[in-house]
Amino acid sequence: MSSFQELAPFLAANWPIVCVAVVVIALVYFLSMKSEKQKEKLTPKENTKIPSPQDKGEHPLSEFAEEKQDPNEAPPLHDANTAHVLFKFERLPEKEMMTRSRDFYENLNQRRSIRFFSKDLIPEGVLENIVRAAGTAPSGAHSEPWTFVVVRDPKIKLQIREIVEQEEFTNYERRMGDKWVQDLQFVKTDHVKPYLEDAPAIILVMKQQYHIDENNVKYPHYYFEISTAIAAGMLITAIHVAGLVTVTTTPLNAGVALRELLGRPSNEKVMLLLPVGYPADDATVPDITRKPLDKIVVFK
């Protein structure tokens, strides 16, 4: 009691400061409790069917982090004295230009993302031609910063499915967020990916930030992200033109495990995973339309 009496004059003289101090302490306590609750919310949920991925000491998106360039200077990727030759070009009549462009559009407009595959095998040589077509894509300094890994072995396809489904389960549960998951509901997709086993082939598009030659010299690749993305677009187009189907799969957080499974070097990272084959007889797709031309182009 005597202690309070001694403090009374101090409190009476400094009550505004004391009030502010109490509010600050309460606010700090509230924020610390909120932070703890958020951490608990991010704790992996238990699931008897698909276990949560083990913590490998890496950030969930570390596979997409750019690696530092080697400070050692590499010689030019191509000879500065490379000969230039006359470009052979055949100018088409206007009528044929219109016919070709219209037919090509109408053909590509039939392309759809398919998640139900027949197990029928792809004719020999078709996949090779599809990859050749993708390899004609332009790239920064003609570095061709891509690798296409074609998987047809059923055992490896099963392993790919297991890796992807494990990560996708966690993606849908806590990484992607409610809005992302909600926006995918019309597709009727989730973490279960049977098409990774059913499709007769899977093509993994690998991007290369740099190349290491046989002498262990590192060559940087320029615009490797956009260059590989262009090649992937041409690959998808080639798949469709060849009479096959695919679906673009971005195996979020599964890239490192897939790279290790396939024995690929550290300078390669998974950009896309494309199951390729014929559609199942009962394959379905969402009844959607594409934006009209006036919504996707501006002419000046």
Q: What is the pLDDT of residues 230-272, one digit of tens each?
A: 999 999 999 999 999 999 999 888 999 999 999 999 899 999 9
The CATH number linked to 191 is 3.40.109.10
231, 137 contact by CB (below 8 A): yes
Q: pTM for this structure?
A: 0.76
Whether 220 has a pLDDT exceeding 80, the answer reads yes
Q: Do residues 131 and 267 both lie within one domain?
A: yes
Distances (CA, A) of 195 to 49, 157, 242, 279: 19, 10, 19, 10
Q: What is the pLDDT of residues 69-94, one digit of tens each?
A: 454 567 888 888 999 999 999 999 99
Q: Do residues 25 and 126 both lie within one domain?
A: no
Task: Specify the number of domains making up the chain.
Answer: 2
pLDDT confidence band for 60 (50 / 70 / 90): very low
Closest CA to 217 of 267, 282, 281: 267
Q: Do residues 191 and 272 both lie within one domain?
A: yes
Q: Do residues 16 and 142 both lie within one domain?
A: no
Query: Which one has a higher pLDDT value, 174 or 246?
Result: 246
Q: Do residues 155 and 236 both lie within one domain?
A: yes
Query: Which one has a higher pLDDT value, 129 or 222?
Result: 129
Phi, psi of 211 (to 5 degrees): -125, 140
Q: Do residues 22 and 159 both lie within one domain?
A: no
Residue 183 burial (10 A CB sphere; 0-12, 13-18, 19+): exposed
Closest CA to 148 of 136, 140, 163, 158: 136
To the nearest whole percent, how much of the chain has pLDDT over 70? 76
Q: What is the pLDDT of residues 30-41, one digit of tens each?
A: 555 554 544 444
| pLDDT score for 48 | 35
Arithmetic mean of pLDDT over the chain: 84
pLDDT confidence band for 29 (50 / 70 / 90): low
| pLDDT score for 77 | 83
Residue 60: inside a domain: no
Q: Do residues 155 and 35 both lie within one domain?
A: no
Residue 61: inside a domain: no
Q: Mean pLDDT across the stretch 167-171?
A: 86
Residue 13: inside a domain: yes
Q: How far apart are CA 43 and CA 53, in angstroms?
A: 12
Q: Do residues 12 and 155 both lie within one domain?
A: no
Residue 57: inside a domain: no
Whether 143 has a pLDDT exceeding 90, the answer reads yes
| pLDDT score for 186 | 87
Closest CA to 190 of 202, 204, 176, 201: 176
| pLDDT score for 151 | 98
pLDDT confidence band for 15 (50 / 70 / 90): low
Residue 294: inside a domain: no
| pLDDT score for 217 | 84
| pLDDT score for 103 | 98
Q: Do residues 19 and 157 both lie within one domain?
A: no
Whether 11 has a pLDDT exceeding 80, the answer reads no
pLDDT confidence band for 189 (50 / 70 / 90): confident
Residue 192: inside a domain: yes
The range of the structural domain enclosing residue 6 comes to: 1-43
Q: Do residues 269 and 132 both lie within one domain?
A: yes
Q: Do residues 137 and 13 both lie within one domain?
A: no
